[in-house]
């Protein structure tokens, strides 16, 4: 359907799915941009029950112009990346112009990817020692997360902390689907939990996730930030304060601006920062805002993010090269 009649798809069920539900996994695998539990009494009741996010998602998706997918970049073809100088003198490439302010795709054809190639024989210098990777995503995020995590040649030797905006009740299905398709250990973060290398920690339903001064998980029920709980901003801010230049921040597709200012904060602190490009974002709100704030050192499609993560975390140069920003 998505190849012939591309439309933004929100899959709805009448009850919270069972753990590992094949239906939800198949929906994510084939391009659904959001999952939600249907409230039979309608959107007004949904809003009263705390599901106003569903109403916002449906309204936003009705305005999204979906671009037909005709191909997908192979990680083996990745040969050029966007990089930048420190924020004070940064000149970050703006996203490519689109026919609509909201554009949705799952993978951009090679001809549509805007990158700068480097002179032959030059390579990107690795950053300092990285101790953690923080990722934030919203609408359209699950398939992008799968692409990035599955693109890693092996589990990273550092923990990954993740905020993915989801309707309540779908966390178990997301973890099951990502675990099965990436072969990584993915768990729901718990308060006070120490972080282990190679493990992905997903913020729980309706709780903010931060990291305390010792690097352990710190959950709280403070008011929503940027309309969300868990909030990417809360996570990124704590990572910036705790890890400074020893972190990587990745901001992916999503509505609004959750995490945008904090990605810039991470960059100001010396962290490596990545924003998903417009061409592959279902909604370029969050990463687009970060780019406007010059918070992104790299502006990349998902297929390239894996290589950049491995390079900065492990020093691997597989399929990685770069040129200065214009």
- pLDDT-based confidence at residue 86 (cuts at 50, 70, 90): very low
- Indicate whether 253 belongs to any domain: yes
Q: Assess whether 204 and 282 both reside in one domain.
A: yes
Q: Where are the beta strands (DSSP E) in 190-271?
A: 199-202, 208-211, 217-220, 247-251
- pLDDT-based confidence at residue 170 (cuts at 50, 70, 90): confident
Q: What pLDDT does 18 receive?
A: 54
Look at the chain and report how many structural domains it folds into.
2
- Indicate whether 113 belongs to any domain: yes
- Indicate whether 26 belongs to any domain: yes
Q: Assess whether 43 and 154 both reside in one domain.
A: no
- Indicate whether 114 belongs to any domain: yes
- pLDDT-based confidence at residue 316 (cuts at 50, 70, 90): confident
Which of 21, 165, 231, 281 is an active site residue?
Answer: 165
Mean pLDDT of the region 18-28: 56
Coil, helix or strand for 181?
helix
More confident residue, 99 or 19: 19
In percent, the amount of the chain with pLDDT more than 70 equals: 59
The enclosing domain of 80 has a CATH number of 3.40.50.180
Q: Assess whether 16 and 61 both reside in one domain.
A: yes
Q: Assess whether 113 and 225 both reside in one domain.
A: yes
Q: Where are the beta strands (DSSP E) in the chain?
A: 10-13, 34-37, 65-66, 103-104, 132-137, 160-164, 185-188, 199-202, 208-211, 217-220, 247-251, 272-276, 298-300
Q: What pLDDT does 168 receive?
A: 83
Q: Assess whether 44 and 170 both reside in one domain.
A: no
Q: Assess whether 32 and 127 both reside in one domain.
A: no
- Averaged confidence pLDDT in the chain: 76
- Indicate whether 90 belongs to any domain: no
More confident residue, 139 or 322: 139
- Indicate whether 321 belongs to any domain: no
Mean pLDDT of the region 24-30: 59
Q: Assess whether 115 and 263 both reside in one domain.
A: yes
- Indicate whether 1 belongs to any domain: no
Largest CA distance in the chain: 63
Q: Assess whether 42 and 79 both reside in one domain.
A: no
Q: Assess whether 14 and 129 both reside in one domain.
A: no
Q: What pLDDT does 41 receive?
A: 56
Distance between CA 142 and CA 175 in Å, rounded? Answer: 10
Is 21 one of the catalytic residues? no
What pLDDT, in 10s, does the model give residues 197-244? 999 999 999 999 999 999 999 999 999 999 999 999 999 999 999 999
Is 312 one of the catalytic residues? no
Which of 138, 176, 238, 307 is an active site residue?
Answer: 138
Angle between helices 22-29 and 171-182 (to 10 degrees): 60
Residue 175 has pLDDT above 80, yes or no: yes
Q: What pLDDT does 119 receive?
A: 35
Q: What pLDDT does 200 receive?
A: 99
Picking from 165, 170, 146, the residue whose alpha carbon sits closest to that of residue 36 is: 170
Is 167 one of the catalytic residues? no
What pLDDT, in 10s, does the model give residues 276-306? 999 999 899 999 999 999 999 999 999 999 9
Q: Assess whether 20 and 102 both reside in one domain.
A: no
Domain holding 16, by residue range, is 10-66
Q: What pLDDT does 280 receive?
A: 94
Mean pLDDT of the region 134-162: 96
Q: Assess whether 186 and 158 both reside in one domain.
A: yes
- Indicate whether 322 belongs to any domain: no
Q: Assess whether 27 and 80 both reside in one domain.
A: no
Q: What pLDDT does 179 receive?
A: 95
Q: What pLDDT does 229 receive?
A: 97
Q: Which residues pair with 98 in a beta bridge?
A: none
Which of 246, 258, 284, 306 is an active site residue?
Answer: 258
Residue 273 has pLDDT above 60, yes or no: yes
């Amino acid at each position: 359907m998505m190849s012939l009649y591309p439309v933004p798809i929100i899959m709805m069920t009448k009850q919270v799915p069972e753990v590992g539900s094949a239906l939800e996994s198949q929906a994510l695998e084939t391009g659904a941009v959001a999952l939600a539990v249907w409230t039979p009494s309608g959107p007004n009741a949904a809003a009263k029950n705390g599901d106003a996010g569903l109403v916002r998602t449906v309204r936003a998706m009705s305005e999204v112009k979906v671009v037909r997918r005709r191909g997908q970049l192979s990680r083996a073809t990745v040969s050029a990346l966007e990089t930048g100088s420190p924020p004070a003198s940064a000149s970050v490439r703006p996203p490519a112009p689109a026919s609509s302010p909201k554009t949705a795709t799952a993978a951009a054809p090679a001809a549509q990817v805007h990158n700068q190639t480097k002179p032959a024989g030059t390579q990107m210098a690795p950053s300092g020692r990285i101790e953690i990777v923080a990722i934030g995503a919203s609408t359209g995020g699950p398939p992008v997360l799968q692409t990035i995590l599955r693109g890693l040649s092996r589990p990273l030797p550092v923990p990954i902390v993740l905020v993915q905006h989801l309707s309540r009740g779908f966390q178990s299905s997301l973890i099951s689907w990502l675990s099965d398709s990436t072969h990584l250990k993915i768990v729901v973060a718990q308060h006070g939990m120490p972080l282990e290398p190679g493990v992905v920690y997903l913020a729980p339903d309706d709780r903010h996730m931060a990291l305390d001064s010792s690097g352990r998980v710190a959950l709280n029920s403070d008011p929503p930030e940027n309309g969300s709980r868990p909030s990417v901003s809360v996570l990124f801010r704590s990572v910036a304060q705790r890890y400074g230049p020893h972190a990587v921040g990745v901001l992916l597709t999503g509505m609004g601006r959750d995490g945008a200012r904090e990605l810039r904060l991470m960059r100001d602190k010396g962290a490596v920062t990545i924003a998903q490009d417009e061409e592959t974002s279902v909604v370029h709100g969050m990463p687009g805002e970060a780019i406007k704030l010059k918070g992104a050192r790299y502006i990349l499609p998902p297929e390239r993010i894996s290589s950049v993560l491995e390079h900065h975390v492990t020093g691997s140069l597989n399929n990685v090269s770069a040129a200065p920003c214009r």
